[in-house]
């Protein structure tokens, strides 16, 4: 049974890609016509962007039962999201180049605020998880926002069937389902308070996830439209730094720190459990073990074995849901270009050859970067896209002006709308996982995202003030 599913999810061509692309096109264009909706919530205003409508409508289509969207189609949508991220990064790279003087002026604030992204979840979310008695899963769920690189870190240290790894998977599912929508609402609310420098907010937007960064940056731009270029450039750079540093900080700092902090907060509970085990042991055994850790009983070992088996089944369900679908690169880029040009034309209120030229430039940048990434095998395509794009759009490149003029006719929100619409269409397969992660991950996840964004924003605000 499982072998059949694996084979089915291996590769896809135009037969599966065209239907999901057509569905995404209808939804993305429709929500682009709907536009932004501003909602007053008393303590501020929240702006709902087309990309959020696209995510929600895509999700509704993927879970409806009238004409179910097949798992293979949902996996194709997920595969297209991965390529759409590259196009989004390419578009944002053209905001980095012109903003380089502003980025340099930010000085060490850009690096210092990363403390908030990389450690904010431990400071606030971990104590909440302990309070809710999430157990050892607390460590995996709160040492970071748990995107894909976190899997390898925790699996290597604790094992793939451990409670800590279950925590990673739970936070990954939460971020996939709720991350982009929640951070849009949060950032929109905070940006409308007008108490933070827009550059500090932009740094806070770089949480390490492309979709969440785009959603957050859009809310900041809505609050500070005059600073759009600097905001998008700063958010893109901050997100790249978080992604690159996150692996090293996670391995050497965040994960060990989360483990020790968890042990510190649960030391009394652990001592009570050990005392209870010792009290139930025979007198001779209790005396022999005085001052030493309590021996595990057969019941304890059976419970741990059962929990490990449950963790293994959950891991397999997540792996099945997230199984990669391979698409030809030419097909992915062709589909996304058509979707992007259509959505960008609606955003611009008319078709323009400049939009086509902008997409051609971004496609060339993406293809060159993918080739370089394959040649080096050590540096990701995103790093090449960001670096090359920033250079050719900077004042130091001779052809920067015409390149910028063409690419900037493509509204970055239109790309984000396509990306999140496809993400919504891929989420139906993940909904059943909600019953496995439990309700506790929801408040913990909300606090983790809030802590990462707000703590880094506050640090950036003070660092910018001191540096300036």
pLDDT digits (tens, 9 = 90+) for 438-453: 788 999 999 999 999 9
What pLDDT does residue 39 have?
Answer: 84
Q: Which long-range contacts (CB under 8 A, 24 or more apart) does 222-230 make?
A: 222/36, 222/47, 222/49, 222/188, 222/191, 223/188, 223/191, 223/192, 223/194, 223/198, 224/191, 224/198, 227/198, 227/199, 228/95, 229/95, 229/98, 229/99, 230/95, 230/99, 230/102, 230/198, 230/199, 230/202
pLDDT by residue (tens digit) across 62-77? 998 888 888 889 999 9
The closest of 230, 213, 226, 220 to 416, measured between CA atoms, is: 213
- Quickly count: other Cβ atoms within 10 Å of residue 224's Cβ: 18
**220 vs 119, 213, 418, CA distance in Å?**
23, 11, 20
What is the C-alpha to C-alpha distance for residues 164 and 135, in angstroms, rounded to an integer? 9
The answer to whether residues 154 and 140 touch, using CB atoms and an 8 Å cutoff, is yes
Local structure of 13: helix, strand or coil: coil
Number of H helices, E strands in the chain: 25, 2
**Burial tier of 180 (Cβ tally within 10 Å: 0-12, 13-18, 19+):** buried
Do residues 345 and 355 touch, judged by C-beta distance below 8 A? Answer: yes
- State the average pLDDT over residues 204-225: 89
For residue 377, is it left (φ>0), alpha (ψ between -120 and 50) or beta?
A: left
Q: Which of 153-167, 211-225, 304-318, 420-434 has the highest mean pLDDT?
A: 211-225
Tell me the per-residue pLDDT of 91-125, one tens digit each, with 9 for 90 and over.
999 999 998 887 877 767 888 888 888 788 899 99
Contact 91, 415 (CB under 8 A): yes
Q: Residues 236-252: pLDDT tens digits?
A: 998 888 877 777 888 88
Q: Look at residues 327, 400, 368, 449 and name the one whose alpha carbon lies nearest to residue 81.
A: 327
pLDDT of 292 over the 80 cut? no
Radius of gyration in angstroms for the set of CA atoms belonging to the chain, rounded to a whole number: 24
What average pLDDT does the segment 306-325 reach?
Answer: 73
Q: Give the dihedral of Cα atoms 467, 122, 237, 76; nearest 10 deg.
A: -170
How many Cβ atoms sit within 10 Å of the Cβ of residue 99? 26
Q: How far is 37 from 102, CA to CA, in rounded Å?
A: 31
Chain segment 356-402, per-residue pLDDT in tens: 999 999 999 999 999 999 999 888 899 999 999 999 999 999 999 99
∠ at Cα 126 (121, 127), nearest 5°? 130
Structure-block tokens of residue 44 = 């501020």
Q: Do residues 177 and 29 lie in contact, with contact meaning Cβ atoms separated by under 8 Å? A: no
Token reading at 266: 């649960």
> Do 405 and 326 contact (CB within 8 A), yes or no?
no
**DSSP three-state, residue 305:** helix
**Dihedral over Cα of 320, 326, 332, 333: its sign:** positive
> What pLDDT is stored for residue 364 in this prediction?
97
- Confidence tier at 207 by pLDDT (50, 70, 90): confident
Distance of CA 354 to the CA centre of its chain: 31
């Amino acid at each position: 049974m499982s072998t059949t599913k694996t084979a089915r999810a291996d590769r896809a061509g135009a037969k599966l890609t065209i239907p999901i692309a057509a569905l995404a096109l209808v939804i993305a264009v429709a929500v682009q016509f709907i536009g932004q909706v501003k909602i007053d919530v008393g303590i501020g205003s929240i702006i709902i962007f087309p990309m959020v409508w696209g995510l929600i409508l895509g999700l509704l289509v993927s879970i409806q039962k009238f004409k179910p969207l097949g798992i293979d189609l949902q996996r194709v949508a997920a595969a297209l999201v991965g390529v759409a991220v590259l196009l989004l990064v390419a578009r944002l790279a053209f905001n980095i180049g012109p903003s380089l003087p502003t980025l340099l002026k930010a000085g060490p604030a850009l690096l210092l605020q990363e403390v908030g992204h990389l450690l904010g979840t431990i400071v606030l979310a971990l104590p909440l998880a302990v309070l809710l008695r999430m157990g050892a899963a607390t460590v995996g769920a709160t040492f970071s926002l748990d995107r894909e690189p976190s899997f390898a870190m925790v699996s290597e240290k604790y094992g793939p069937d451990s409670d800590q790894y279950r925590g990673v998977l739970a936070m990954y599912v939460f971020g996939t389902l709720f991350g982009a929508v929640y951070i849009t609402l949060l950032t929109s609310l905070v940006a409308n308070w007008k108490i933070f420098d827009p550059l500090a907010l932009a740094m806070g937007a770089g949480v390490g996830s492309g979709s969440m960064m785009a959603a957050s940056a859009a809310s900041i731009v809505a609050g500070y439209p005059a600073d759009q270029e600097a905001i998008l450039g700063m958010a893109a750079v901050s997100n790249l730094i978080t992604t690159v540093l996150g692996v090293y900080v996670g391995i050497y700092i965040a994960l060990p720190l989360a483990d020790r902090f968890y042990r510190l907060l649960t030391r009394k509970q652990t001592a009570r459990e050990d005392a209870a085990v010792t009290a139930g042991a025979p007198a001779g055994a209790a005396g022999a073990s005085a001052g030493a850790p309590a021996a595990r009983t057969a019941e304890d070992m059976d419970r741990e074995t059962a929990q490990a088996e449950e963790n293994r089944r959950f891991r397999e369900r997540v792996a099945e849901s997230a199984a990669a679908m391979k698409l030809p690169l030419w097909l992915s880029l062709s589909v996304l270009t058509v979707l992007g040009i259509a959505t960008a034309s609606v955003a611009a209120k008319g078709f323009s050859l400049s939009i086509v030229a902008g997409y051609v430039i971004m496609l060339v940048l993406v293809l060159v970067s993918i080739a370089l990434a394959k040649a080096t095998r050590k540096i990701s395509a995103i790093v090449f896209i960001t670096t090359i794009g920033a250079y050719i759009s900077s004042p130091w490149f001779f052809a920067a002006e015409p390149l910028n003029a063409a690419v900037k006719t493509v509204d970055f929100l239109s790309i984000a709308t396509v990306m999140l619409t496809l993400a919504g269409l891929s989420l139906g397969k993940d909904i059943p996982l909600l019953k496995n992660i439990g309700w506790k991950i929801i408040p913990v996840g909300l606090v983790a995202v809030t802590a990462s964004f707000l703590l880094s924003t506050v640090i950036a605000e003070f660092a910018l003030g001191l540096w300036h």
